[in-house]
Amino acid sequence: MTMLRFATVGDNCIDQFRPSGMSLIGGNAVNVAVQLALLGHESHYFGAVGDDADGHRTIGELAAHGVKVEHIQLKSGHTAFTLIDILPSGERVFAHEDFGVCAGYRPTPVDVETLKQMNHVHIGWMDDGGALRDELCSAGVSVSQDISVNSDVQNLGVYGLAIAFGSVGEDDWAADAMMHRLIFEGARLAVVTRGAKGASVSDGKRSVTQGIEPIEVIDTTGAGDSFIAGFLSANLSGRDWETCLESGRRLAGRTCGHVGGFPQA
């Protein structure tokens, strides 16, 4: 596998699981960064944490997992947190989200220039109206984004993305419609996870779908983020779509075997 320079930008949070009271670090951009580092890539995280115990914990945990943390902004305020309920099936339900100092986060001009030197940049949740995405794509940077974590209309948009990731249920029509829409709106590649029906990838001319493998599910938190990391690793290494989907599936399955988006002490 080719070792590459990746950066992820945007959300981090403390996942607080109810009723156990356990708390773990998560967030789309954070989980993708950690998984890419665990795969052996050079992985940088750009985002903001509060100058509180959770913020310092987040920085320490990322560094311990091999993620480069020098571009994290430490800001006055509280670190983002999410309250999560786990159903008997292992599925997680987000009961409440507070974005804390993630809201309003913007990379500095120096950060942006650093991002332009990466092999690939993945953007998680951001509330910048798509400004960073547009700037990086206009500069020719390979960029992906998970539209499923950006629910506000003003922050949605996929034009120029190398890869747009999305998530739907098991409805075949909905999956096909989402892939068509993402390509029509300007993404070069659309990747859609489909629950028990696996995942699909399309460039508007052809598509490939791969199913799931039966696994014992403990917790699905971060499984989609792990899928993204596995897919990106294979795709940026020049692998075929089938291998990319398999790489994502394998990493997502591994994540479902433990609580949280990645193993933590």
* pLDDT at residue 144 in the model: 98
* pLDDT at residue 265 in the model: 67
Looking at the domain 5-255, which fold is it?
Answer: UDP-N-acetylmuramoyl-L-alanine:D-glutamate ligase (3.40.1190)
Domain map (residue ranges) of the chain = 5-255
DSSP helix/strand/coil, 16: strand
Instruction: For the chain, list residues with pLDDT below 50.
Output: none
* pLDDT at residue 71 in the model: 98
pLDDT in tens, 28-74: 999 999 999 999 999 999 999 999 999 999 999 999 999 999 999 99
* pLDDT at residue 214 in the model: 78
* pLDDT at residue 1 in the model: 60
d(CA 260, CA 20) in angstroms, rounded, equals 13
Report the phi/psi class of residue 33: left, alpha or beta, with left for phi > 0 and alpha for psi in -120 to 50: alpha
Backbone angles phi, psi at 220, to 5 degrees: -90, 0
* pLDDT at residue 20 in the model: 83
d(CA 127, CA 112) in angstroms, rounded, equals 16
H-helix or E-strand containing 107? none
* pLDDT at residue 220 in the model: 74
Backbone angles phi, psi at 73, to 5 degrees: -90, 125
Contacts with 242 (C-beta within 8 Å, 6 or more apart), sequence order: 208, 210
Secondary structure letter of residue 218 according to DSSP? S
Q: Are 130 and 158 in contact (CB under 8 A)?
A: no
Residues β-bridged to residue 45: 8
* pLDDT at residue 195 in the model: 86
Report the phi/psi class of residue 157: left, alpha or beta, with left for phi > 0 and alpha for psi in -120 to 50: left
Place of tokens 């990379």: 107
DSSP helix/strand/coil, 97: strand
